[in-house]
Amino acid sequence: MNITVGLSDILLISPMIAIFLASLVPITTKVLRGNREQHPMVTLTQALIGLIIGIGLLIVFGGAGKTAFNNGLIFDGVTQWMGVIALAAAGASLVMMYENPATSGKQFSELVFLAMNSAVGMLILVSAVDLLMVFIGLELMSLALYLMIAMSHEEKLSKEAALKYFVLGSFASAIFLYGVAFIFGSTGGTNILAFMDQAAELVQTSRLFLFGIAFVILGFCFKVSIAPFHAWTPDVYQGAPTPHTAFMATAVKTVSFAAFLRIIATKSLVGSDYLFDVLQWLAVATMIIGNTAAILQNNFKRMIAYSSVAHSGYLLIGVITAGISDNAAFGASGVIFYLLSYGLMTLGAFAIASMLERSENHIVNIDDLAGFAKQRPIYALCLTVFLLSLAGIPPTLGFFGKFYLFNAAIGEGLLWLAIWGMISSVIGVYYYLRPIVVMYMREGNAEIAGRSLNATTVTAVIMALAIVLMGFVSGPIFAAVEKSLI
């Protein structure tokens, strides 16, 4: 097959090109300076400029539904929204890396290079409609991330986290690739667009295709922490440097769900009641396990890790809804809107956690927050906003994220899933309120680390303001997302 590359293809992938070229600037400068690190602020500025250019190009050239490289990549509303969310999350994570003791220092240029290339992998993943392109994006994103975690100045937990993430991530990729082989064997191709119209029928008539799509879905269940494939999440989130944890919990989750959404959009669930039922029960199990396990945690990052598992369950409700709905745009819009709100509140929570870390070996426990409201009232207020939004308390953005997800599910007759979602949300309120109670009602000497935290502070305050203000204009935002998908 002859594949011709034209100017339109280059323009469509220009965000990836811009980010990759920007990633080369700090590391090339370091080489030319005799392996001497330039000022970290300069490195951060160069990276942020690259990401901003990437976001701008994605907004300009994405969203029109055009395809590139022989229909291997598509640039539609999902690509545009999910890509922008992921790149913005990457930018906020880089700001945290600049001021966190586990990530700043002699290898900051290398760290930025890896983070930017992981972002390139994310853009490939979010726009890929060929399963082999999905695999390429997945591996580029993941391999850079494994190295980033292992580069932490912390000597023990980060190395353990990198190894666990590498082994289990490789296992998930192998399962995914095994499923792709089955799909290729049954359809003669790996392009989702080529077999999308026949997928519902193929699931019923071809056991080979059914096994293939099941393995592909299983691979993504590992990536997005769906129970019982979530066991790696708390260990990796705790062991990784806090900025990397924020990066994984937001940007990586966003693009993984984008690819998951494209797989489910083939309507395979419509053709297989068994697949449909299994995914529903996985969503319920994920919400319940994530929220109940979070109650038992005293380590702040492990609590947010199990919270992330529960939120994957909520998002899976939206993915299932989009997979069976005649108006898939409504279900997909709920997923995108939820990822937007989830990204803001999770990044903010990890930004506060990063401020509390005095060294690369410091562990932040919930009990350590005692007296935080008295010592640092602004930071405590920001953390309160993030936790209330994660709990889904109105009028925060998190409440409206759950509202749109559950509303779409009820509209498709998935009332029982929505009820389980609401029950799980009620369970989650307990552990989200616990840090707030500790901050405001216990005496203590909680204090932020004694170093410059101006950039992280600005990031946290912006996130908190966005969560509150965007909650009041959630309707127009959701309408804009839905309109871009039609």
Q: Where are the domains of the chain?
A: 7-485
Q: How confident is the model at residue 376 (pLDDT cuts 50, 70, 90)?
A: confident
Q: Poorest-confidence range of 169-173, 251-255, 268-272, 425-429?
A: 268-272
**CA distances to 86, 96, 132, 178, 301 from 432, in Å:** 25, 23, 40, 39, 13
pLDDT at 449: 66
pLDDT at 139: 92
pTM of the model: 0.93
pLDDT at 465: 94
Q: How far apart are CA 164 and CA 312, in angstroms?
A: 20
Asked if the model's pLDDT at residue 199 lies above 90, the reply is no
Plot region of 225 (φ>0 → left; ψ -120 to 50 → alpha; else → beta): left
pLDDT tens digits for range 86-103? 999 999 999 999 888 878
Higher pLDDT, 169 or 3: 169
Q: How confident is the model at residue 295 (pLDDT cuts 50, 70, 90)?
A: very high
3-state secondary structure at position 191: strand
pLDDT tens digits for range 340-358? 999 999 999 999 988 888 7
pLDDT at 1: 47
Asked if the model's pLDDT at residue 180 lies above 90, the reply is yes
DSSP type of residue 39: P
Average pLDDT over residues 436-460: 81
CB-facing half-sphere around the CA of 401: CA atoms within 13 A:
28
pLDDT tens digits for range 417-445? 999 999 999 999 999 999 999 999 888 77
Higher pLDDT, 253 or 62: 253
- Using alpha carbons only, give the angle 312, 318, 320 rounded to the nearest 5 degrees: 100
Average pLDDT over residues 138-163: 85
Q: How far apart are CA 221 and CA 216, in angstroms?
A: 9
pLDDT at 9: 81
Assess contact for 400 and 341: CB atoms under 8 A. Answer: yes
pLDDT at 412: 87
